[in-house]
Copies of this chain bind each other. A is one copy, B any other.
Amino acid sequence: MTSDEDRRADAFFHALADTTRRDILRRVLAGEHSVSALAEHYPMSFAAVQKHVAVLERAGLLSKRRSGREQLASGEVEAIRSVTALLRELEDVWRGRIGRIEELLADTEPGTDTEKET
Given A84-B84, A84-B87, A91-B80; A108-B23 close (CB under 8 Å): yes
Contact of A110 among B10, B23, B42, B109 (CB under 8 A): B42
Task: Verify if A22 is at the interface (C-beta below 8 Å from B).
Answer: yes
Interchain CA distance A62-B41 in the complex, whole Å = 35
Interchain CA distance A93-B14 in the complex, whole Å = 21
Given A17-B17, A87-B84, A110-B43; A101-B10 close (CB under 8 Å): no
Task: Verify if A45 is at the interface (C-beta below 8 Å from B).
Answer: no
Question: Which residues in chain A, 77-91, are within 8 Å of chain B measured between CB atoms?
Answer: 77, 80-81, 83-84, 87-88, 90-91
B43 to A93, Cβ gap below 8 A?
no
Task: Verify if A2 is at the interface (C-beta below 8 Å from B).
Answer: yes
